[in-house]
């Protein structure tokens, strides 16, 4: 019970100060070798309760899917931002993540009055914001955004796995596991790989051609 109360500390302080719409923002996908970085912006009602909600990485895949649906059904607003591998290669992953966060906030069906962000600072926001280190384990709104972003990106990787099962995207979700790197070395690169990320950049230096399969 204590953990649930703690998760509301930032939201409750803002609500008590007359701020009605508090958004939580988080990202998923800064580390993978392929695909976009995905962000989510979630605004929850004051009555929102979801026992066990925390940082999406600490939840099982089944639990994340259950929480995802509950959040989608009960949130006041849920919006997604994402930036492709091309954008990541162009501006770097940190800047691409910020751009994706701005996009998610701008797409919110309700304009937030205050934004709680996991770790990062967004200097160009029109509204006040708070950057919280490990926010996905400290704020209910950021935790919700973490789940939405994670499930959204994982589903994309599962779809990619159907097209290219030999790469194992369903299991590693694009992260640089040993099996993933070995698959790249064996089958080459497909569209969507981040060319500035090692070991992709090293493979490109050896002129590995793009796979058509």
Q: In what order do the strands lie in the sheet with 37-43?
A: 77-83, 37-43, 22-28, 114-118, 129-132
Instruction: Give me the mean pLDDT over the 107-122 stretch.
Output: 97
pTM of the model: 0.93
CA distance 110 to 43: 8
Going by pLDDT thresholds of 50, 70 and 90, the confidence category of residue 197 is very high
Query: What rounded mean pLDDT belongs to the chain?
Result: 93
pLDDT of residue 104: 98
The phi and psi torsions of 120 (rounded to 5 degrees) equal -85, 160
pLDDT digits (tens, 9 = 90+) for 148-196: 999 999 999 999 999 999 999 999 999 999 999 999 999 999 999 999 9
pLDDT digits (tens, 9 = 90+) for 29-69: 999 999 999 999 999 999 999 999 988 889 999 999 999 99
């Amino acid at each position: 019970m204590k953990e649930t109360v703690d998760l509301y500390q930032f939201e409750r302080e803002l609500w008590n100060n007359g701020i009605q719409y508090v958004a939580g923002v988080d990202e998923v996908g800064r580390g993978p070798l392929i695909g976009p970085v995905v962000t989510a912006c979630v605004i929850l009602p004051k009555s929102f309760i979801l026992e066990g909600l925390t940082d999406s990485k600490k939840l099982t895949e089944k639990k994340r899917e259950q929480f995802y649906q509950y959040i989608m059904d009960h949130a006041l607003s849920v919006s997604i931002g994402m930036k492709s591998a091309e954008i990541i290669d162009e501006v770097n992953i940190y800047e691409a993540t910020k751009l994706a966060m701005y996009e998610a906030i701008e797409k919110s069906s309700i304009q937030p009055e205050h934004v709680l962000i996991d770790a990062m600072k967004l200097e160009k926001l029109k509204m006040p914001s708070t950057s919280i280190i490990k926010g996905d384990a400290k704020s209910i709104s950021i935790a919700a955004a973490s789940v939405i972003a994670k499930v959204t990106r994982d589903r994309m990787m599962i779809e990619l796995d159907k097209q290219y099962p030999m790469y194992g995207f369903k299991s590693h979700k694009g992260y640089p596991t040993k099996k993933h790197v070995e698959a790249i070395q064996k089958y080459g690169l497909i569209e969507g790989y981040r060319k500035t990320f090692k070991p992709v950049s090293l493979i490109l230096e050896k002129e590995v051609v793009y796979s058509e399969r």
